A = this chain, B = another copy of it.
Amino acid sequence: MGVTEPAPADFEFDRSTAVSPDGEGRYAAELSAGWVVGGGLNGGYLLAVMGQALRAALPAKPDPVAVSAHYVSASTPGPATVAVDVRREGGSVATAAVEVVQDGATRITALATCGDLARFAERAPDVRTTATEPALPPPDDCIRTSDSPEEIRAFVPMLDRFDLRLDPAHAAWGEGEPGMTGVIAGWFQWPDGRAIDALSLLTVCDVLPPVTFDLGMPGWAPTLELTVHVRAHPAPGWLKVRHETRNLAAGMFEEDCEIWDSAGRLVAQSRQLALLPRPM
């Protein structure tokens, strides 16, 4: 009598991140124009494409527990090859090098440590969290990024890929009045009912506007390096996502991200080092 599980093809996120085997340690992907942001493709989307290739290469280690990506050149929509080189597979974790290549040029090079978080949590069920869950107004009292003005959505087509509701307390930059707090926060869910899983978290950590918007520095902030730690499988429902920067120096800033699930669990932490946007 069981409910039929939806197939991955039913969800846009799965279709746009899908990979297919293309030789030893190689996977073919079709990078989606739907994830364009400014001059390239969203870095979190590309992480999920890499995550799909990792899952295909390491089926017994389905979770990307720690992924460190260095962004080498801007990806473009269209065909790409994802190369996975498993450096070591042990009993509980595996380490692999992953690259996205287009037209012979490396777009992203990354390292990943993968495992099975469900198995880890079974063996070590203790959870101790002193980090504080962000307080947000209810989703319906927040600002839907998909309601952004047409000229912004033309520049950032990815805004149509997800349901993101920004906390108005950190969104006054939208009216040209940046709060100067270095924080942006909001609610996230997939718009078509796709479940939030570990793979989704790789993308969610990079979908908010650059936190520099809140510091009066609009514009695209190219990521140099982004590391994500997936700490738990998220419970169903809305995610809370919070970005913060605490140090701008030498033309760079860090962006720390926390993702909390509907059960109040800290499910992912990420930090990226990015270039400050050039004045527009």
Chain A contacts to B: CB under 8 angstroms: 65-66, 68, 70, 72-73, 87-88, 93, 95, 97, 106, 109-113, 117, 120-121, 123-124, 126-131, 182, 215, 224-225, 227, 229, 231-232, 246-252, 254, 265-266, 269, 271, 273, 276
Contact = CB atoms under 8 A, between A and B. Distances in A.
Given A248-B128, A251-B123, A276-B124, A97 B68 contact: no
A131 B251 contact: no
Contacts of A252: 65, 120, 231
A231 B231 CA distance: 26
Contacts of A249: 121, 126-129, 231-232, 265-266
Chain B CB within 10 Å, residue with most, of A73, A106, A121, A254: A254
Contacts of A73: 88
Contact of A113 (B110, B128, B225, B276): B225
Contact of A111 (B111, B120, B250): B111
Contacts of A246: 129-131, 266
Given A271-B269, A271-B271, A250 B117 contact: yes
Contact of A254 (B93, B95, B121, B269): B269
Given A225-B227, A231-B249, A70 B68 contact: yes
Given A66-B70, A130-B182, A93 B250 contact: no
